[in-house]
């Protein structure tokens, strides 16, 4: 292989909760010297239709999305890669996820109105709902704009979080099955952190992986901006035992999170792991 790989397979745009537009993120990827990348917005594939036209020479792009799922035992973020965004199974999956989110946004807006009397102009609500994946940060921004809160953080902590809304969630087996049916590779995102702020280790991790493997999971995100070297080491050992593909992602969100694009911890590895190479080959990258 002539050129060295710089890989980041996990990042978000304005299609979900990132702050860079798809156009901006492609420019940033180039600036960061990344040559293999995927954009993985939450429950949305809009970027998958925009980005291919922006990718020129020297960049390898993999279609992607990150699905929030849940079952009785907990929450899981399932990444899908290399699928056909226009296939029926993927459309169905994103519509379900998007539908669930929209229901929740409407419920939150109703709550803010009833509880605190916060009202927003019709056109703002329309704009909000027209976004690909509106969530708490978007509502928070709106509250700041209309003077109901000083900062987005205060808006979320002091008002939006006052009531918890049970969401209708996608189950992991459903997400995995749909990704596979759409021609994609299902991968468990940041396994050690669960859906973000958990800590899943040892036997608990093993139980999760066993279950998800049974549903058809094919990979695990072993390199991640928030992982310590030890977490990466442990996850690589699990990948070996379960025969999973290995992926690497930063979870860059632009200005929303202090994560540097391309920071996956992969630079600390002596060489690109074979299971990551075979993942990229599965996604169509010719390495030899």
Partner 1 sequence: MNADTVKIKLFGRIDSNNAAETEEKIFAQIPGAETQSVVFDASELEYISSAGLRVILRLKKTCPDVSITGVNSEVYEILDMTGFTEMLTVEKAYRVVSVEGCEEIGRGANGTIYRIDRDNVVKVYNNADALADIQHEREVAKLALILGIPTAISYDVVKVGETYGSVFELLNARSFSKIIAAEPEKLDWCVGEYVRMLKTIHGTVVPEGKLPDMRETAISWARFMLDYLPEAAGKKLLAMVEAIPRDDHMIHGDYHTKNLELQNDEVLIIDMDTLAVGNPIFELASMYNSYVGFYDVDREAIKKFQGYDYDTAQAFWHKTLAAYLGTNCKAKLREVEDKAAVIGYMRLVRRTIRRGGAETEKGRAELECWRVKLLELLDRTDSLVFSFNELEIEAVPENLDDVQAFVGERLEAAECPMKAQMQISVAVEEIFVNIASNAYAPDKGSATVRVEVSGDPVTVTITFVDRGVPYDPLAKEDPDVTLSAEERGIGGLGIFMTKKIMDDVAYEYRDGKNILTLKKNI
- Give the interface with partner 1 as residue ranges (CB under 8 A): 153, 157, 192-193, 196-199, 201, 226-231, 233-234, 258-260, 263
Residue 217 beta carbon to partner 1: minimum distance, rounded to whole angstroms: 21
Q: For partner 1, give the closer residue by CB, 181 or 269.
A: 269
Q: What angle do CA 142, 99, 49 make, to 5 degrees?
A: 85
Residue 258 beta carbon to partner 1: minimum distance, rounded to whole angstroms: 6
Q: For partner 1, give the closer residue by CB, 124 or 151.
A: 151
Alpha helices in 160-201 (DSSP H): 172-181
Residue 144 beta carbon to partner 1: minimum distance, rounded to whole angstroms: 15
Residue 203 beta carbon to partner 1: minimum distance, rounded to whole angstroms: 12
* Tokens standing for residue 48: 């998958």
Cα dist from 23 to 5, 39, 86, 164, 259, whole Å: 22, 11, 20, 35, 19
Q: For partner 1, give the closer residue by CB, 152 or 277.
A: 152
Q: CA neighbours within 13 Å on the CB side: how many for 214?
A: 6
Strand partners, 191: none
Nearest to 277 by CA among 238, 237, 219, 227: 219
Q: For partner 1, give the closer residue by CB, 180 or 266.
A: 266
Q: Is the dihedral of CA 88, 94, 98, 99 positive or negative?
A: positive
Nearest to 264 by CA among 282, 256, 276, 279: 276
Residue 204 beta carbon to partner 1: minimum distance, rounded to whole angstroms: 11
Residue 229 beta carbon to partner 1: minimum distance, rounded to whole angstroms: 6
Q: For partner 1, give the closer residue by CB, 82 or 140.
A: 140
Nearest to 64 by CA among 226, 247, 215: 247
Q: For partner 1, give the closer residue by CB, 101 or 152.
A: 152
């Amino acid at each position: 292989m002539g050129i060295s790989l710089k890989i980041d397979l996990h990042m978000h745009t304005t299609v979900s909760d990132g702050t860079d537009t798809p156009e901006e993120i492609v420019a940033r990827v180039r600036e960061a010297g990344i040559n293999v990348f995927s954009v993985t917005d939450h429950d949305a594939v809009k970027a998958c239709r925009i980005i291919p036209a922006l990718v020129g020479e020297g960049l390898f792009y993999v279609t992607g999305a990150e699905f929030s799922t849940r079952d009785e035992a907990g929450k899981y973020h399932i990444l899908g890669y290399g699928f056909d965004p226009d296939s029926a199974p993927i459309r169905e999956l994103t519509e379900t996820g998007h539908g669930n989110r929209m229901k929740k946004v409407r419920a939150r807006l109703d709550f803010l109105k009833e509880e605190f009397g916060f009202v927003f102009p019709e056109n703002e609500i329309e704009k909000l709902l027209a976004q690909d994946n509106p969530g708490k940060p978007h509502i928070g921004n709106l509250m700041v704009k209309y003077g109901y809160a000083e900062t987005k953080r205060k808006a979320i902590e002091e008002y939006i979080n006052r009531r918890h809304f049970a969401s209708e969630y996608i189950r992991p087996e459903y997400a995995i099955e749909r990704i596979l049916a759409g021609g994609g590779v299902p991968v468990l995102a940041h396994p050690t952190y669960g859906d973000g702020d958990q800590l899943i280790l040892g036997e608990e991790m093993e139980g999760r992986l066993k279950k998800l493997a049974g549903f058809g999971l094919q990979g695990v995100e072993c390199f991640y901006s928030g992982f310590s070297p030890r977490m990466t080491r442990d996850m690589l050992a699990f990948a070996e035992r379960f025969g999973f593909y290995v992926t690497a992602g930063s979870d860059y969100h632009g200005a929303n999170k202090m994560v540097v694009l391309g920071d996956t911890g992969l630079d600390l590895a002596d060489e690109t792991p074979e299971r990551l190479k075979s993942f990229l080959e599965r996604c169509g990258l010719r390495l030899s």
